Amino acid sequence: MYFDDIPTVPTADELLDRVFRRAAKKMREKTSRKRADEDFVRSITQAAHDKLVAIIQSFPEFEELPPFYRDMCDILFDIENLRKNLGMVGWAAKNVRDVGRNISMGMRGADTLVERKRAVARIASIIHRADDALHYLNDVRNVLRKLPHVNPEEFTIVVAGYPNVGKSSFIRLVTSAEPEIASYPFTTKGIIVGHRIAERRRKIQFIDTPGLLDRGEEERNAIEKQALNALIYVADIVLFVIDASENCGYSVEAQFKLREEIDNLTSVPMVTAINKSDLKPYEGYFNMSTVSGEGVEAVLDELLRIRKENMIKEPLDIRSELPVPEYTRHGGRSPEKTDYYPNK
């Protein structure tokens, strides 16, 4: 959604190889060696600069991301660290441009072969200094592209409960298509996102989060706790599913304890549903069976009723204003998508 279009970030050697090969091909088309050397320097300067700028522009403006995705970026990589690495690529782009222009302008009246070799060495040295940043940004890209598609504009129902209580089965029953299963950086299991079309073709988003909302606080590490906070604030409703038969492997007491813990994390409405009621019903709550389908419609109706009462969704940003990086943005193809260049 926000990261799908980020292309693979090349290493310094890969970037230089592409730039030099294209420039060499153009160079062979020239009949004058002097003119060919000058054009070669201009070509590698422009191509290397443009590629570095394109890498920066392929990443989103982090401050403009919805709070959920901004938090995910901050949890996974530290946004300030991301900005510093983008700034390093910006430094390389600026210096490649400046060095290439200076050498190109001084080639007339000089030994163009010597100057061409000097330009190649200087530009390669600059780009290699940004190689760690390029490797890092490619790792970031690979993770961001695998994040689940969570639309902050859609009404969201987060389904919680211990493993094997029937959360994913419920989502499959009430959503119109096969739910998306996306990898999640904090767990080996996949996050499940399903959608249901409501009135006026508005979508309702159902999210099951294995590995985050299926165990107690004492079992979560620091990153998982932060991720849980980010995810829970996406919710407009929390549906907590309990297996009263205890066939899931957890006692009813433990399940209600987790329910209370999650209820304390959020201020949105929580609906509690007892699944596998065909094996053991439980009074005082919605009873359903995701195997037979009995009671599922009643739970869904309750969720939709609450949704109608909360049609206007107030966006929640759980983090304070992010610090302003120590570099500004200049140049680029448009005012909206520009380059990271250091202040000094």
> Residue 64's domain is classified under what CATH number?
1.20.120.1190
Residues 140 and 160 in one domain: no
153 or 184, which is more confident?
A: 153
Residues 133 and 213 in one domain: no
Give the per-residue pLDDT at 224: 59
Residue 3 included in any domain: no
Residues 233 and 297 in one domain: yes
pLDDT tens-place string over residues 298-330: 999 999 999 988 765 444 443 434 343 444 444
* Distance between CA atoms of residues 53 and 117, nearest Å: 24
Give the per-residue pLDDT at 70: 85
> Is the per-residue pLDDT at 181 higher than 70?
no
Residue 193 included in any domain: yes
> Is the per-residue pLDDT at 60 higher than 80?
yes
Q: Which of 116, 147, 178 is the last residue of a domain?
A: 147
> Is the per-residue pLDDT at 277 higher than 50?
yes
Q: With a threshold of 0.85, does the pTM exceed it?
A: no
Q: Which of 120, 147, 174 is the last residue of a domain?
A: 147
Residue 267 included in any domain: yes
59 in Cβ contact with 100 (< 8 Å):
no
pLDDT category at 142 given cuts 50, 70, 90 is: very high
Give the per-residue pLDDT at 333: 38
Residues 107 and 214 in one domain: no
pLDDT tens-place string over residues 1-13: 688 889 999 999 9
Residues 165 and 136 in one domain: no
Q: What does the buried/exposed string (b/e) look like for 65-84 if buried means 16 or more CB atoms within 10 Å of the residue's CB? A: bbbbbbbbbbbbbebeebbb
> Is the per-residue pLDDT at 253 higher than 90?
yes
Residue 114 included in any domain: yes
Q: What domain range is 264 assigned to?
A: 155-309
Cβ-Cβ contacts under 8 Å for 75 (sequence gap 6 or more)? 223, 226, 227, 230
Q: Which of 147, 171, 206 is the last residue of a domain?
A: 147
Residue 187 included in any domain: yes
Across 17-21, 106-110, 190-194, 202-206, least confident range: 190-194
Count of domains for the chain: 2
Alpha helix stretches (DSSP H) within 164-221: 167-174
Average pLDDT, integer, range 153-169: 88
Q: Could you give the percent of the chain with pLDDT greater than 70? A: 77
Give the per-residue pLDDT at 97: 96
Residue 5 included in any domain: no
Q: What does the buried/exposed string (b/e) look like for 142-161 if buried means 16 or more CB atoms within 10 Å of the residue's CB? A: eebeebbebebebbbbbbbb
Residues 304 and 285 in one domain: yes
Look at the alpha carbons of 218, 219, 224, 228 in this order and tell me if their dihedral is positive or negative: negative
In eight-state DSSP terms, residue 319 is S
Residues 77 and 28 in one domain: yes
Amino acid present at 2: Y
pLDDT tens-place string over residues 109-119: 789 889 999 99
* Distance between CA atoms of residues 162 and 250, nearest Å: 8
41 in Cβ contact with 121 (< 8 Å):
no
Residues 226 and 169 in one domain: yes
pLDDT category at 340 given cuts 50, 70, 90 is: low
Residue 334 included in any domain: no
pLDDT tens-place string over residues 21-34: 988 877 776 667 78
Across 113-117, 190-194, 291-295, 302-306, least confident range: 190-194
> Residue 165's domain is classified under what CATH number?
3.40.50.300
Give the per-residue pLDDT at 295: 95
Residues 191 and 269 in one domain: yes
Residues 176 and 305 in one domain: yes
Q: What are phi and psi of 279, to 5 degrees?
A: -90, -40
Residue 182 included in any domain: yes
Average of per-residue pLDDT values in the chain? 81
Residues 166 and 136 in one domain: no
Kindly tell me the number of DSSP H helices and DSSP E strands found in the chain. 10, 9
Residues 292 and 159 in one domain: yes
